[in-house]
């Protein structure tokens, strides 16, 4: 991620994404965003999200080092994520592609797609990116700005929440199918020192893995009801406002999620307030794939960049992950999933 909360330029599809990936999985289809938020009277028994498990997954991912594309740490973490979804009964497929970074470096990108139900037509897609930013270009210390980011929050936290959700879904089957995708090469966008002044070009350098996935879906008829993208969902003191592009493309899904948060007891963490506009992985899913997708992303009103004090710095480490935030997001997702009709 991306642009700050003032971002208004929408990602355009880059030419390299036009080639088909040769999808290797077949799933059911569905239509649209679904109905308005579930009434409290219709709620069902919702399991509890284990934030400690999620935190341990953040630590495990970071133990490999920064997951920068084309590195050993990146390859090892891909194996770890795939194996963890496999333990939960999911069929895992790696969607590989070679995608050009803003500076021409060819990145070996791996989107990790997990499904355990190839029949149900009622399904949703939950996503997060799993790669690390190659440069801490927002760090206060200029000498550290070319250091790779550990990405505990900006990457690992979203994956950790998804892995814990997958574990719970295996134990208590919900009424809908839930797929997961871990997007790669999200965070290799143009660093501050190489900005060109061409907003469209710079914006298109982000979210390459999700751009590729959106242009090359698992099958021609793959059509989840909606998607939810989790980004930086473990920061201390985080609040999740209603992101602007999410409200533009998927207003009904926004209503569902924030209603679920209220039912789960986390309305203070998910206040019904307008946030900014974020260039993130939900944009290709909305604009290219046509799947209404919401971005759950923090909006810190007391920091200039809106993403919090560790964003794209060397301080984005497990020590700065808050289990309370992981719990709020994970429990909200469970409330959403188990009350989906």
The answer to whether residue 137 is domain-embedded is yes
The answer to whether residue 188 is domain-embedded is yes
CATH of the domain at 100: 3.40.630.10
The answer to whether residue 304 is domain-embedded is yes
The answer to whether residue 23 is domain-embedded is no
CA distance 43 to 149: 41
The answer to whether residue 10 is domain-embedded is no
**pTM assigned to the model:** 0.89
CA distances to 84, 132, 331 from 185, in Å: 20, 8, 28
Both tokens assigned to 107: 């990145």
The answer to whether residue 20 is domain-embedded is no
pLDDT by residue for the chain (341 residues), tens digit each? 555 433 333 333 333 343 333 333 333 333 344 334 434 445 489 999 999 999 999 999 999 999 999 999 999 999 999 999 999 999 999 999 999 999 999 999 999 999 998 888 899 999 999 999 999 999 999 999 999 999 999 999 999 999 999 999 999 999 999 999 999 999 999 999 998 778 888 899 999 999 999 999 999 999 999 999 999 999 999 999 999 999 999 999 999 999 999 999 999 999 999 999 999 999 999 999 999 999 999 999 888 889 999 999 999 999 999 999 999 999 999 999 999 97
The answer to whether residue 33 is domain-embedded is no
Both tokens assigned to 48: 């509890």
The domain in which residue 252 lies consists of 41-338
CA distance 173 to 47: 10
The answer to whether residue 11 is domain-embedded is no
Both tokens assigned to 287: 């604009």
Query: How many structural domains is the chain composed of?
Result: 1
Using the structure block, give the residue that is written with the tokens 């473990």. 234
């Amino acid at each position: 991620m991306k642009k700050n909360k003032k971002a208004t330029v929408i990602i355009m599809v880059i030419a390299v994404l036009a080639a088909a990936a040769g999808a290797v999985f077949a799933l059911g289809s569905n239509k649209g965003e679904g109905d308005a938020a579930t009434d409290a009277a219709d709620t069902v028994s919702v399991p509890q999200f284990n934030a400690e498990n999620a935190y341990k997954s953040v630590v495990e991912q970071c133990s490999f080092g920064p997951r920068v594309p084309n590195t050993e740490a990146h390859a090892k973490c891909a194996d770890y994520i795939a194996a963890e979804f496999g333990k939960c009964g999911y069929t895992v497929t790696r969607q590989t592609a070679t995608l050009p970074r803003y500076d021409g470096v060819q990145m070996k990108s791996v989107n990790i797609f997990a499904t355990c139900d190839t029949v149900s037509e009622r399904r949703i897609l939950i996503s997060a990116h799993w790669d690390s930013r190659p440069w801490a270009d927002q760090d206060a210390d200029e000498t550290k700005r070319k250091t790779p980011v550990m990405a505990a929050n900006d990457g690992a936290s979203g994956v950790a929440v998804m892995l814990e959700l997958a574990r719970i879904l295996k134990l208590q089957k919900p009424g809908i199918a839930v797929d997961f995708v871990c997007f790669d090469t999200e965070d290799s966008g143009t660093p501050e020192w190489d900005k060109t002044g061409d907003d469209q070009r710079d914006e298109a350098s982000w979210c390459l893995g999700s751009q590729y996935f959106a242009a090359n879906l698992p099958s021609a008829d793959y059509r989840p009801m909606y998607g939810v993208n989790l980004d930086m969902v473990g920061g201390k003191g985080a609040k999740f406002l209603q992101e602007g592009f999410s409200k533009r493309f998927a207003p009904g899904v926004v209503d569902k999620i924030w209603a679920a948060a209220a039912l789960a007891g986390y309305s203070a963490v998910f206040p019904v307030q307008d946030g900014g506009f974020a260039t993130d992985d939900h944009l290709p899913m909305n604009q290219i794939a046509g799947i209404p997708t919401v971005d759950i992303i923090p909006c810190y009103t007391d920091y200039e960049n809106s993403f919090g004090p560790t964003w794209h710095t060397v301080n984005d480490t497990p020590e700065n992950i808050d289990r309370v935030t992981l719990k709020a997001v994970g429990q909200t997702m469970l409330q959403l999933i188990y009350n989906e009709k």
